[in-house]
Amino acid sequence: MKLYCISLILLVAVGYAFGVNIALNADTQQSSTLRGIYTSDRAVDGDTGKMFFHDTCTHTNCHDKDPHWTVCLGNMTSISSVTIHNPDYARGRLRNIRIDVFQTNPSQPGAVAMPCGSVTSTPVTDGTEMTFTCPSNTVGRYIRISKTTMEKSQRGWHQHHQYMCDALLLCEVEVTGKPSITCPTGFMMNRGSCYHFSTVGVNSWFEARDACQAMGADLVVINDQMENNFIEMQLAGLPGNMDYFAGLHKLNDGVTWMWIDPNAMMGVSVGGNNNGMAFSDWRGNQGLNPNQRCMRLQFVNMQMGYSWFNVDCTPGMRTQYICEISPTYPMQPRQKCF
Ligand SMILES: [Ca+2]
Ligand SMILES: [Ca+2]
């Protein structure tokens, strides 16, 4: 179980770092489909084969005056690059192409295009792929690839070696990027996560969690030392030296501490204290009491600031709480695409 979770974290981390294709099997649409065969989903089926007649490529209708293809990534994404795999039989049609990113459905009024890249009238060599790096801060949910100008001599099949059907053909479109979020009202952003520090106390850790979830968040998961430093710095600036619940609790074995985010479980040393490899910030012998199964950040003194304490989940006095929305937790509901 533990190994599985560790490999999952590594996969996610490696994915974002080394460019896993986030468009794979995403929702797609195109302006038209030649003979109903060369469907839009073929460009995100994971098959980058470029043999047009044997592999999995898209093709719009020859009569289409405005050929375009759109992929929806579900949630708001910070997009790094777009790679287009061009068929071997493209006949130079991968030209006069633009790639735009949209935050809303590009087919609906009011959609604003953020340019990511373009191909001029010089065609991309048949059977090759081309990667376009989007400008930094390109954030959106939709990517549209469209032809900017159509070949005028649509009648001249034999003239100038041009194919009469100037359609949009894509064997595969790969996208790299990472989830992006904007913070709701009452939350502050730090390193790509959103935080809310409560202004009212609750009676139990469970009530605190409910309160966070009611805001579309969850109790804070402190993934590393930098995040811990940020939180303790914020708490030091808040009045009253109050105590704050976080999303760390102990399993029924009375020993194992778990973050509420299953992907973060390796972040806590088992059995309390700071003597493990993993990250924790227990004060003294805190974390060891088998009966106190919830963690809260408590003010120690002016010099120490805040530390982690184990407490009863219903501690008998009202406690504040910290909520977080991170790009990976809680899972954001996938928004409707088309
Ligand atoms: Ca394909
Ligand atoms: Ca976190």
Average pLDDT over residues 223-238: 94
- Would you state the pLDDT for residue 263? 75
What's the whole-model pTM score? Answer: 0.75
Give 174 or 50, the one with higher predicted confidence.
Answer: 174
Residue 13: band (very low, low, confident or very high) from pLDDT cuts 50, 70, 90: very low
Amino acid letter, 96: N
* CA 248 to ligand 2 centroid distance, Å: 11
Residue 331: band (very low, low, confident or very high) from pLDDT cuts 50, 70, 90: confident
- Would you state the pLDDT for residue 18? 55
* CA 330 to ligand 1 centroid distance, Å: 32
Q: Which ligand is nearest to the CA of 28?
A: 1
How far the first Cα of the chain sits from its last, in Å, is 38
Q: Which ligand is nearest to the CA of 47?
A: 1
pLDDT at 6 over 50: no
pLDDT at 9 over 50: no
* CA 77 to ligand 2 centroid distance, Å: 18
pLDDT at 217 over 60: yes
CA atoms within 13 A on the CB side of 332: 19
- Would you state the pLDDT for residue 163? 54
pLDDT, tens digit, 9 for 90 and up, residues 244-288: 999 999 888 888 888 898 777 654 554 443 333 467 899 988 988
Q: Which ligand is nearest to the CA of 324?
A: 2
Lowest mean pLDDT among 48-52, 127-131, 148-152: 148-152
DSSP state of 202: B
Q: Which ligand is nearest to the CA of 54?
A: 1
- Would you state the pLDDT for residue 274? 37
Q: Which ligand is nearest to the CA of 279?
A: 2
Average pLDDT over residues 202-228: 95
Burial 22-49 (b: 16+ CB within 10 A, else e): bbeebbbbbbbbbeeebbbebbbbeebe
- Would you state the pLDDT for residue 268? 53
Count the neighbouring beta carbons within 10 Å of the beta carbon of residue 195: 21
pLDDT, tens digit, 9 for 90 and up, residues 91-125: 888 999 999 999 999 999 999 999 999 999 999 99
Per-domain residue ranges of the chain: 2-179, 188-325
Average pLDDT over residues 212-228: 94
* CA 229 to ligand 1 centroid distance, Å: 46
pLDDT, tens digit, 9 for 90 and up, residues 301-315: 999 999 999 999 999
> Which residue's structure tokens are 């050929």?
67
Provide the sign of the torsion angle of the four alpha carbons 280, 281, 287, 292, taken in this order: negative
CATH number for 188-325: choose from 3.20.20.140, 3.40.30.10, 3.10.100.10, 3.40.50.360. 3.10.100.10
Lowest mean pLDDT among 34-38, 82-86, 291-295, 331-335: 331-335
Can you tell me the distance from the alpha carbon of 294 to that of 311, in angstroms, rounded to the nearest whole number? 5
Give 16 or 228, the one with higher predicted confidence.
Answer: 228
pLDDT, averaged across the chain: 87
Assigned CATH for 2-179: 2.60.120.260
Read out DSSP for 238-288? SGGG--EEEEEEE-TTSS-EEESSGGGGGGS-TTSSS-SSS---B-TTTT-
Can you tell me the distance from the alpha carbon of 227 to that of 191, in angstroms, rounded to the nearest whole number? 8
